[in-house]
């Protein structure tokens, strides 16, 4: 990994760690909608690898392999975020979705149905399903910081890792037991989606095969399940 002059041989490192970059990209791509391009993820990962080469400090105790893996994953996440996957209008609609579910749960004393949520939002079912698909982008869903006028319903803050999945982000602010109780209150299908996706580590297509629905429908169900959890774990707006 080092040249005769004692410096890191960058070309050798790139060649050595390219398989790791590709594995990271494939793992991430499998958990994202089909519109995500694998080559874009690999390219972003290579940028992260080169950044790791520049920043690595062996005195910190971590191995280069561990550090590089973290930087590669972070670079891929940053690339996805930079593409504005969740436009401001969709973020606003996502917060309205959370508030609508909160109101309905408070009013009905149970988890509302899809049609009840769509009615509360004054949306036809097709538009509601499109909203769910838009706000779902797996574990890279961008959360607004609290403290602004538009993000008053947010439950996340600065110390949540940028690579956190929606469930990991929730877990940063609530006890596991509390989250487990909230999951138990979800409709059976929502619980199954979360279990297959997070516990069984199936990708969207595989979850769809189990449920007998398409990938886009799984995106919708995942988004709705996370929205229901956030509504349960935060105060009624």
Structure-model confidence comparison of residues 40 and 80, the more confident one: 40
pLDDT of residue 148 exceeding 80, the answer is no
Tell me the CA distances in angstroms from 18 to 31, 45, 68, one per residue in order: 20, 9, 11
d(CA 14, CA 6): 17
**In the CATH hierarchy, which fold is given to the domain comprising 10-82?**
Rna Polymerase Sigma Factor; Chain: A (1.10.1740)
Residue 212 has pLDDT above 90, yes or no: yes
- The structure's pTM equals 0.55
Query: Residues with Cβ < 8 Å from 163, sequence gap 6 or more?
Result: 73, 74, 77, 139
Query: What are 13-26's pLDDT values in tens digits?
Result: 888 999 999 998 98
What pLDDT, on a 0 to 100 scale, did the predictor assign at position 125?
A: 94
Token duo for residue 96: 């309205």
Per-residue pLDDT at 53 exceeds 60: yes
Say how many C-beta atoms besides its own lie within 10 A of residue 23's C-beta.
13
**pLDDT above 90 coverage of the chain, percent:** 24
Place of tokens 């590669």: 72
* Better-predicted residue by pLDDT, 86 or 121: 121
Q: In this structure, what DSSP letter does residue 196 have?
A: I
Locate the domains of the chain by residue range.
10-82, 88-233
Residues in the chain: 237
Counts for the chain of helices (H) and strands (E), in that order: 11, 0
Q: Which helix (H) or strand (E) holds 65?
A: helix 64-82
Round to whole Å and give the CA distance between 34 and 29: 8
Tokens of 233: 């774990």
57 contacts 66 by C-beta, under 8 angstroms? no
| Tens-digit pLDDT profile for residues 175-200 | 677 778 888 888 999 999 988 987 88
């Amino acid at each position: 990994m080092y040249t005769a002059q004692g410096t890191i041989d960058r070309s050798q490192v790139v060649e050595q760690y390219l398989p790791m970059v590709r594995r990271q990209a494939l793992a991430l791509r499998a958990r994202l909608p089909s519109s995500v391009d694998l080559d874009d993820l690999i390219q972003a990962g290579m940028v992260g690898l080169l950044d790791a080469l520049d920043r690595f400090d062996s005195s910190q105790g971590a191995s280069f392999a561990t550090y590089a893996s973290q930087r590669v994953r972070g670079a891929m996440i940053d690339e996805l975020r930079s593409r504005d996957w969740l436009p401001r209008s969709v973020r606003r609609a996502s917060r309205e979705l959370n508030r609508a579910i909160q109101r309905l749960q408070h009013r009905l004393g149970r988890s509302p149905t899809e049609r009840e949520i769509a009615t509360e939002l004054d949306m036809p079912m097709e538009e509601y399903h499109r909203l769910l698909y838009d706000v779902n982008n797996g574990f890279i869903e961008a959360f607004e910081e609290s403290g602004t006028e538009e993000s008053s319903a947010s439950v996340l803050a600065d110390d949540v890792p940028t690579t956190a999945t929606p469930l990991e982000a929730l877990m940063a602010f609530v006890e596991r037991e509390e989250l487990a109780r909230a999951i138990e209150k979800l409709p059976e299908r929502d619980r199954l989606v979360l279990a297959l996706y997070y516990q069984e580590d199936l990708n969207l297509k595989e979850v769809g095969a189990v449920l007998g629905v398409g990938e886009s429908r799984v995106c919708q169900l995942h988004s709705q399940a996370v929205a229901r959890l956030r509504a349960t774990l935060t105060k009624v707006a």
